[in-house]
Amino acid sequence: MTSNTQTPATASDRFTRLEDAGRDFPYYNGAPTTITTAQWLLVLVAVVVAFLLLALPIDWPGEGLAGQFLPALLLPGLPLAALAIVAGRHWRAIFGKVGTRELRLMLGFALLNIVVSMSVGAIFKAMADVTPNAANALLAGMGTGERVGFFAKMLPQLFGEEVITLLPFLALLQWFTRNLGMGRKAGIIGAWLVSSLAFGLIHLPAYDWNLVQCIVIIGSARMVLTLPWILTKNIWVSTGAHVINDWLLFGVGLLGAGLVANT
């Protein structure tokens, strides 16, 4: 692991309306440190292991939601630990400050994603069957305390979903630009598309293995949620948008289920 001076991206290499000026993606261009292909493979192995620990039916210690907090915490924890091993103190390069602008971006992109998801979902539903998220029915059957725990558990889990999406994004960006010789813009588009596709595929168990739905609806939602990352290079912003998005969707779904039950 060596530290290098980054070659700044030129104006022609940047999406000027989609990226904040003065900040670039870390690692792919040698700053704030170089991560080799072998080191990225270690990080990606940690990503896969963390996801499997969450997805597989493992009998974790603790009852109910308490036992589910451990895999939710490991989802971001293991990949970030691997990143810290290969990048040293520069593992924090994926984070940024959170101020008023960042909070506004979180809310704005969350609302944009809801509009896009509902629009794509409506079009998809007109042409094919849509499978509901099994978590909606699970949430509807919970008591108040369990529901509070469910929404609390979403915080580390959704942060983890950002980690396991955006670290592969950075690995892909480096591979596309350095190994395949693609330009920066093409590398960003490629990393954006492939990481969004992968995000859709990991949701297959939640949607009864409806492949097309996961690719089209979940994949398009992920593309929107990655936009604040492309804009700010700050994982807190995309995480905040993701949390607001899911809290609103699950909250509205829970409210709707309650209204139906009371009629």
Q: State the pLDDT at residue 8.
A: 62
pLDDT, tens digit, 9 for 90 and up, residues 50-61 = 999 999 988 888
From 16-25, 33-42, 159-168, the region with the lowest mean pLDDT: 16-25
- Tell me the C-alpha distance between 253 and 117, whole Å: 14
| Mean pLDDT for all residues in the chain | 91
pLDDT for 63 equals: 67
Q: How many CB atoms lie within 10 A of CB 178?
A: 15
Confidence (pLDDT) at 4: 44
Using DSSP's 3-state secondary structure scheme, residue 99 falls into coil
Where is 163: in which H helix or E strand? helix 144-174
172-199 average pLDDT score = 97
The torsion of the CA quartet 212, 243, 92, 26, rounded to 10 degrees, works out to: 40
What is the rounded average pLDDT of the residues 139-158? 91
**Cα–Cα dist 8/104, whole Å:** 28
Q: Are 233 and 20 in contact (CB under 8 A)?
A: yes
Q: Residue 161 carries which side chain, given as an amino acid letter? A: E
Top-confidence range, 65-79, 98-112, 137-151: 98-112
Q: pLDDT at residue 85 above 50?
A: yes
Identify the residue whose tokens are 């971006």.
Answer: 105
Instruction: With CA atoms as reference, report the closest residue to 3 among 39, 38, 27, 37.
Output: 27
Contact of 4 with 30, CB cutoff 8 Å:
yes
Question: Would you list the domain boundaries of the chain?
Answer: 11-261
- pLDDT, tens digit, 9 for 90 and up, residues 215-255: 999 999 999 999 999 999 999 999 999 999 999 999 987 87
Q: Is the pTM of this model over 0.75?
A: yes
Over 50: is that where the pLDDT of 5 sits? no
The pLDDT of residue 259: 47
Task: Please state the separation of Cα 174 from the chain's center in Å.
Answer: 19
pLDDT of residue 2 exceeding 70, the answer is no
pLDDT at 29 over 70: yes
pLDDT at residue 3 in the model: 41
Q: Quick one: residue 62, left, alpha or beta (phi over 0 = left, psi -120 to 50 = alpha)?
A: left
- pLDDT tens for residues 97-117? 999 999 999 999 999 999 999
pLDDT at position 1: 42
Q: Which amino acid type is present at position 171?
A: A
Find tokens 């990503």 and name the residue.
47
Q: Where residue 27 falls among pLDDT bands split at 50, 70, 90?
A: very high
d(CA 62, CA 207): 26
Task: Determine whether 60 is exposed, middle or buried from the number of CB atoms within 10 Å of its CB (0-12, 13-18, 19+).
Answer: middle
* Residue 7: pLDDT band with limits 50, 70, 90: low
